[in-house]
Amino acid sequence: MLHPIRRARQSTERTPLTRLQKIATLLALVFVTLVSVQSSAQSAVPIVLVKADRLLDPRTGNVLTPAFVLIEGDKVKQVGSSSQIGIPVGAKTIDLGGATLLPGLIDAHMHLFLDIIVPPEAEISRHWNGLFAPGLLLTIIESPTKRAFLGALMAREDLESGITTVRNLGHSGVDGDTELRDAINARRVPGPRILASARKLITRASYVQNLNPALSEAILQQEFLLIDGADRGRAAVRQNEFQNVDLIKVTADENLTVPELTAVIEEAHRQHLKVAVHAIETTSIQTAIDAGADSIEHGNDSTDEQLRQMPDKGIFLDLTPTSYGGFFLKIMEPSLALSAETRSSRISSGARRDKRYADFVQRVLKSGVKFAAGSDMCWFYPGKTRGQASTATLVNLRDAGMPALDVIRAITINAAEMLGWQDRIGSVERGKFADLVAVSGDPLADITELERVRFVMKDGKVVRNDLTKP
Ligand SMILES: [Zn+2]
């Protein structure tokens, strides 16, 4: 076979272009250019009108009836009643009938690259942190490519359940969440907006112990950056900056000192990055407060005094009602044989934890601290997609005694403020991204409507629509 270049040259030699042919070619080029200019003018920014019986504004709690949302490209252009909206000719209308519109949901604390299968009791009892560590270790040592596909699947499932923005707080390997964020933004794969934190900053032995000494450093470095003194803390922040993170995630435990965390936070703030600090026990919560964290994740053992200190220092509390309502029994029972003893002890310890959490929610509501919420979902939930597992977890706050409107605020407007993205997301307002969800009923009367989102739009593009017949 002839080399293609050689063959092209031969054909040119054989039939040189006549002047007429040259003119014809030139005219054809001009025509193609004109047509493409015209078609790009025609495919200018798409305009979409979304109609529904109700739109809930989480900021005020007001419900607009009926509601019209005019969307231009990826942004909301106008919101109002039909008389207030100037509907341009050629706007595409999506009529959602009797549905209730809300802003796209925000899961402010979650883990897209982790799907831990709860091990049997015997396995749990043989490991330190036995519920979590075996699954985590298996994930770390397996192929990062395998993990990337998991993250992409979870991201799509979250989006399909109405979660249009997530904050991924660690457990994505070295660069899983930053790369997935970029792939979604480039429209290579579907998914929510991601605020990525890359590797979690921890003190040694926070999550795993008893590793093979010959391999321990290599294993840890795949998932974490160790803080061992203030300088190493600053260096860890810089390593994540190199990964182009949106924020820094730190786990505070009794081993982390205030000077170490302060150094991390100073370095992050110098780069305009917020710092989310995992803190559950009273001592680590105080470390996070004293060092000036931007948000305290979990915060379960906060004292009333600490809940007062948080707003004084401009700290958000990010609630994670993950284990509320017998969560572990729900994920264990479908796949594990549980002894009668285990089952009854899980039920009674769960009931005690639930009561404690409900008390905590009441103290949070009384304290005036600003709060958002995250699912902290990192578990394999048999029978549910990741999106379904996450929304089911978030609405637990209602069962724990939080009014429905506050639950919705925690995963929309409040979460947007905690992320520092209040100008982009969290409400359906002019100039913000056109991220919308719709449910059939009234989410203020029945918060579980959020587990059955029927319409999802992100960036002005429909992701899901079970309400309108095609
Ligand atoms: Zn977490």
Q: Tell me if 56 sits within 8 A of 404, measured CB to CB.
A: no
Mean pLDDT of the chain: 92
Dist. CA 386 → ligand 1 center (Å): 15
Could you give the percent of the chain with pLDDT greater than 90?
A: 85
Ligand 1 centroid, distance to 304 Cα (angstroms): 23
- Residue 337 confidence (pLDDT): 87
How many whole angstroms from 169 Cα to the centroid of ligand 1? Answer: 6
Q: Which burial class, exposed, middle or buried, applies to 382 when counting CB atoms under 10 A from its CB (0-12, 13-18, 19+)?
A: middle
Q: Rounded to an integer, what distance in angstroms lies between the CA atom of residue 297 and that of residue 316?
A: 9
Over residues 292-299, mean pLDDT: 98
Which residues lie closer than 8 Å to 349 by C-beta, 6 or more apart?
A: none
Measured in angstroms, how far is the CA atom of residue 162 from the centroid of ligand 1?
20
| Cα 25 to middle of ligand 1, angstroms | 62
Confidence band of 24 (pLDDT split at 50, 70, 90): low
Q: Is the bond preceding residue 382 a cis peptide, omega within 30 degrees? A: no
CA of 136 to the centre of ligand 1 (A): 12
Q: How far is the CA of 112 from the centre of ligand 1 (A)?
A: 10
pLDDT tens readout for residues 125-149: 999 999 999 999 999 999 999 999 9
Mean pLDDT confidence for 112-125: 95
Instruction: Identify the residue with better confidence: 135 or 469.
Output: 135
Task: Decide if 457 contacts 434 (C-beta within 8 A).
Answer: yes
Distance (Å) from CA 379 to ligand 1 centroid? 11
Q: Specify whether the CB–CB gap between 79 and 436 falls below 8 A.
A: no
Q: How far is the CA of 385 from the centre of ligand 1 (A)?
A: 18
**Tokens 């600053």 identify what position?**
234
Task: Give the CA diameter of the chain.
Answer: 94
Predicted confidence band of residue 36 (pLDDT cuts 50, 70, 90): very low
Span from the CA of 426 to the centroid of ligand 1 (angstroms) = 21
Q: What is the pLDDT of residue 21?
A: 60
Q: Report the distance separating Cα 356 and Cα 185, nearest Å.
A: 40
- Tell how far the Cα of 340 is from the centroid of ligand 1, in angstroms: 30
Integer-rounded Cα radius of gyration of the chain? 26
Rounded to the nearest whole angstrom, what is the distance from the C-alpha of residue 338 to the centroid of ligand 1?
A: 26
Could you tell me the distance, in angstroms and rounded to a whole number, from the CA of residue 109 to the centre of ligand 1?
6
Would you state the pLDDT for residue 44? 81
What separation in Å is there between the alpha carbon of 363 and the centre of ligand 1?
22
Omega into 119 within 30° of 0, i.e. cis?
Answer: no
Ligand 1 midpoint to CA 297 (Å): 8
- d(CA 171, ligand 1 centre) in Å: 8
> How far does residue 415's CA lie from ligand 1's centre (Å)?
16
3-state secondary structure of 123: helix
Dihedral of the alpha carbons of 121, 122, 126, 131, in degrees to the nearest 10: -20
CATH of domain 45-102+432-470: 2.30.40.10
137: which 2 tokens? 């270790």
State in Å, rounded, how far the first CA of the chain is from the last one.
Answer: 52
Cα distance between residue 175 and residue 98, in whole Å: 43
CA distance 429 to 76: 6
User: How far, in Å, is the centroid of ligand 1 from the Cα of 251?
Assistant: 9
Helices (H) and strands (E) counted in the chain, each on its own, are: 17, 20
105-394 has the same fold as 45-102+432-470: no
Q: 244 CA distance to ligand 1 centroid (A)?
A: 20
pLDDT level of residue 40 (50, 70, 90 thresholds): very low
Is the model's pTM score more than 0.85? yes
pLDDT of residue 50: 97
Cα–Cα dist 335/327, whole Å: 14
pLDDT tens-digit map of 312-360: 999 999 999 999 999 999 999 998 888 898 899 889 999 999 999 999 9
Written as one letter, the residue type at 17 is: L
* 13 Cα–ligand 1 center, Å: 69
Determine how many CB atoms are found less than 10 A away from the CB of residue 410.
26
Domain 105-394 class in CATH: alpha beta
Q: Residue 88 corresponds to which amino acid?
A: P
Residue 182 has pLDDT above 60, yes or no: yes
- For 260, phi then psi, to 5°, come to -65, -45
Q: Which tokens is 80 given?
A: 């109002």
Task: For residue 374, report the distance from its CA to the centre of ligand 1, in Å.
Answer: 9
pLDDT of residue 20: 56
Helix (H, G, I), strand (E, B) or coil at 453: coil
pLDDT band at 41 (very low <50, low <70, confident <90, very high): very low
Residue 30 is predicted with a pLDDT of 54
Tell how far the Cα of 221 is from the centroid of ligand 1, in angstroms: 18
CA of 249 relative to ligand 1 center, distance in Å: 10
For residue 384, give the nearest of 194, 150, 157 by alpha carbon.
157
> Taking Cα atoms as reference points, which of 106, 118, 192 lies closest to residue 152?
192
Distance 460 CA to ligand 1 centre (A): 30
**Domain map (residue ranges) of the chain:** 4-42, 45-102+432-470, 105-394
**pLDDT tens digits for 363-390?**
999 999 999 999 999 999 999 999 999 9
Residue 4 confidence class, pLDDT cut points 50, 70, 90 = very low
How far is 138 from 125, CA to CA, in rounded Å?
17
Contact 192, 419 (CB under 8 A): no
Q: Which pLDDT value is given to residue 394? A: 98
The CA distances from residue 87 to 71, 77, 434, in Å, are: 10, 11, 17
What is the distance in A from the centroid of ligand 1 to the CA of 194?
15
Distance from residue 87's CA to the centre of ligand 1 (Å): 44
Residue 26: pLDDT band by 50, 70, 90 thresholds?
Answer: low
Q: Rounded to the nearest whole angstrom, what is the distance from the C-alpha of residue 405 to the centroid of ligand 1?
A: 24
- Which pLDDT belongs to residue 22? 60
Give me ligand 1 centre to Cα 200, in Å. 10
Mean pLDDT of 38-44: 52
In the predicted model, is pLDDT for residue 37 greater than 50? Answer: no
Q: How many CB atoms lie within 10 A of CB 467?
A: 17
Rounded to whole angstroms, the Cα distance separating 377 from 389 reads 7
Q: What would the pLDDT profile of 66-108 be if each residue is shown by its tens digit?
A: 999 999 999 999 999 888 888 888 899 999 999 999 999 999 9
What is the percentage of the chain residues whose pLDDT exceeds 70?
90
Measured in Å, residue 263 CA sits from the centre of ligand 1 at 22
